[in-house]
Amino acid sequence: MKTLNTLTAVAAVVGTLMLGACADMNSPNNYNSAGNAYPQQNTSAYTQYGVVQSIALVRQDTPSSPIGAGTIAGAVVGGILGHQVGGGTGNTAATVLGAAGGAYAGHELEKRNQAQQANAYQLTIRLNNGSYQTITQTTTNDIRVGDSVRIDNGVAQRY
């Protein structure tokens, strides 16, 4: 009976973590559908035209997944190690705490391994109406300072 309760607790923790891996932590409109631009606060849904005033190389963190294989593996290993401690209700508590601690440690290790810096280009564009807009994207699309550009959904392209 004791083994059945422990296995049930471990299965519940692992199942909860696996269901959590299915959740999407990003808001639905957080990223541009073009795929090559970073999210912008002032993106518009219509086309704008302008002239590139400056281009700067910037470094940005790439987004990492909120939960992954490291979290799940850590939870399983932590649960197994926690199960080796104590007996009775103390054993169940140690199993659950071991799984939670392992999940946290696995997530942190995975996050550190995935935290990468990516090059991006910040374009400052003087629009035809006289205002300025700054766009950050992963490629310059062969754009140079002084080029006329069209901005579609936050992505600048030469025209």
Please tell me the pTM assigned to this model: 0.42
CA-based nearest residue to 58, from 134, 156, 143, 141 = 134
Q: Are residues 2 and 70 in the same domain?
A: yes
Q: Are residues 40 and 108 in the same domain?
A: no
pLDDT score recorded for residue 151: 92
Place of tokens 């999940």: 103
Which domain-ending residue is among 115, 134, 151?
115
Helix crossing, 89-114 with 69-83: angle to 10°? 150
Q: Are residues 88 and 120 in the same domain?
A: no
Q: Are residues 85 and 51 in the same domain?
A: no
- Domain range holding 49? 36-62+116-159
Q: Are residues 70 and 111 in the same domain?
A: yes
CATH of the domain at 41: 2.40.50
Q: Are residues 158 and 86 in the same domain?
A: no
Q: Are residues 24 and 102 in the same domain?
A: yes
Q: Are residues 17 and 72 in the same domain?
A: yes
Q: Are residues 51 and 99 in the same domain?
A: no
Contact 135, 126 (CB under 8 A): no
What's the rounded Cα separation, in Å, for the pair 10 and 98? Answer: 10
Q: Are residues 16 and 56 in the same domain?
A: no
Our count of domains for the chain comes to: 2
pLDDT score recorded for residue 41: 46
Place of tokens 């518009």: 44
Q: Are residues 96 and 148 in the same domain?
A: no
Per-residue pLDDT of the chain (159 residues; tens, 9 = 90+): 555 566 566 666 666 655 555 544 443 443 443 444 444 444 456 789 999 999 998 876 655 556 677 788 888 888 888 888 777 777 888 888 888 888 888 888 877 766 555 678 999 999 999 999 999 988 888 899 999 999 998 899 998
pLDDT score recorded for residue 29: 40
Contact 134, 127 (CB under 8 A): no
pLDDT score recorded for residue 48: 93
Q: Are residues 106 and 84 in the same domain?
A: yes
